Amino acid sequence: MGRYFLRRLLIYIPVGLLVTLLVFTLADLAPGDPADWLYSPELNMTYEEIQAIKESMGLNQSPVVRYVQWLRQTAQGNLGYRMKNGDPVGPLIATRLKRTLVLGGVATAFGIIVGLGLGIYTALHQYSWFDHLSGVLAFLGISMPAFFVGVLGLYIFGLKLQWFPIGGITTPGGDPDDLRDFLYHLILPAALLSSNHVAGYFRYMRMSMLEVLHADYLTTARAKGMRERIVILRHALRNALLPVVTVIGASIPGLFGGAVFIETIFSWPGMGMLFIDGVNARDYPLIMGVTLVMTSVILLANLLTDIAYSLVDPRIRLETRSN
């Protein structure tokens, strides 16, 4: 079995490298380079100045040389520096990733709580007006483009109702480490982002709950004289939750970069804006850094899953051995 996983790992490494090579090629072949982004077409930079910038950025070397340089640097643990302002890429990604994960995590939590709650309640009170209303609202959440939800939400809750601040993660001039300030800025973008998730969880929970509510074993339990509340909580809910947990798990990848639009509109300095900035500026160390981090995390997670799964299910262990 160990050999099986070793083989898997050995395949993942070239695949990861392949992805970085692919991304690098695309970034390199894209028209324009980091120096071309650096100067506005409305100003006058002389040819010599432009060439000097390109030279000092190392852009005149062949792509192969640059890719190998990047590989070597990365192998030593250094993800390079942004072309735009020399920021080291590694710590930058870490900071931004944390912020995006917080935003995405809270949004998913909102989505789970609200979605599951609504799903359970409406399943229990099927065909009520509340059921229909929730259905419509939930579906609206997934049918509107993300940027539009953001703009509309910011306009209504930020400007018209003035319940929440307009963007940013802390109040300028205040204490950047203030947790309450941070949470205050987090609520609106997270809530708007969660509108996407609510619908999904709502549907699955409701469907799953409905299925379970009509099951035979519940009828038995009721016939035995169990109180309705225990029937629901102990039997129905637990069984209904199983498939929903799978769906929750499936939405975790979205946490990493999926909040691009909300981040842009709320000026939430996270991974989404970082990546867009990198692409716009052809900042290939940044693009590569982000790709590498994402790919590694994903491949690692895959591997861990496979290991965990094989430990949990003995059939897999036997199967892999026979492989």
For the chain, the maximum distance between any two Cα atoms, rounded to a whole number of angstroms, is 89
Instruction: Indicate which single residue of 1, 4, 21, 23 sits in contact with other proteins (rule: CB under 8 A).
Output: 23
Task: Give the shortest CB-183-to-other proteins separation in angstroms.
Answer: 16
Among 212, 198, 197, smallest CA distance to 243 is for 212
Within 10 Å of residue 9's Cβ, how many Cβ atoms? 12
Cβ-based nearer residue to other proteins, 121 or 306? 306
Helix and strand totals (H; E) in the chain: 16, 0
Cβ-based nearer residue to other proteins, 228 or 313? 313
314 binds other proteins (CB under 8 A): no
Instruction: Indicate which single residue of 39, 130, 163, 217 sits in contact with other proteins (rule: CB under 8 A).
Output: 39
Task: Give the shortest CB-165-to-other proteins separation in angstroms.
Answer: 6
Which residues, in sequence order, are bridge partners of residue 81? Answer: 88
Q: Which stretch binds other proteins (CB under 8 A): 69-77, 113-121, 137-145, 227-235?
A: 137-145
Task: Give the shortest CB-235-to-other proteins separation in angstroms.
Answer: 15
CA torsion through residues 185, 191, 197, 201, sign: positive
Task: Give the shortest CB-196-to-other proteins separation in angstroms.
Answer: 10
Q: Which long-range contacts (CB under 8 A, 24 or more apart) does 56-59 make?
A: 57/83, 59/33, 59/34, 59/35
Measured in degrees and rounded to the nearest 5, phi and psi for residue 117 equal -55, -50
CA distance 4 to 74: 27
Within 10 Å of residue 173's Cβ, how many Cβ atoms? 6
Task: Give the shortest CB-230-to-other proteins separation in angstroms.
Answer: 22
Task: Give the shortest CB-254-to-other proteins separation in angstroms.
Answer: 6
Q: Interface mask (CB under 8 A) for other proteins, residues 2-21, using x and -? A: ---------xx--xx-xx--
Tokens linked to 207: 């469907």
Instruction: Indicate which single residue of 124, 210, 226, 237 sits in contact with other proteins (rule: CB under 8 A).
Output: 210
- Map the footprint of other proteins across residues 222-241, applying CB under 8 A: none
Q: Which stretch binds other proteins (CB under 8 A): 35-43, 71-79, 117-125, 227-235?
A: 35-43
294 binds other proteins (CB under 8 A): yes
* Residue whose token pair is 């050999």: 3
* Residues touching other proteins, count (CB under 8 A): 123
- Map the footprint of other proteins across residues 50-109, applying CB under 8 A: 51-53, 55-56, 81, 84-87, 91, 94-98, 101
CA distance 323 to 312: 18
Q: Interface mask (CB under 8 A) for other proteins, residues 244-263, using x and -? A: -xx-xxx-xxxxxxx-xx-x
Instruction: Indicate which single residue of 113, 179, 301, 318 sits in contact with other proteins (rule: CB under 8 A).
Output: 301
- Map the footprint of other proteins across residues 144-183, applying CB under 8 A: 144-148, 151-152, 154-155, 158-159, 162, 165-170, 172-173, 176-177
143 binds other proteins (CB under 8 A): yes
- Map the footprint of other proteins across residues 260-279, applying CB under 8 A: 260-261, 263-267, 269, 272-273, 275-276, 279
Cβ-based nearer residue to other proteins, 118 or 287? 287
- Which string of b and e fits 106-135 if b means at least 16 CB within 10 Å? bbbebbbebbbebbbbbbbeeeeeebeebb
Those residues whose C-beta lies under 8 Å from the C-beta of residue 223, and which sit 6 or more positions away, are: none
CA angle, residues 272, 70, 28, in degrees to nearest 5: 65
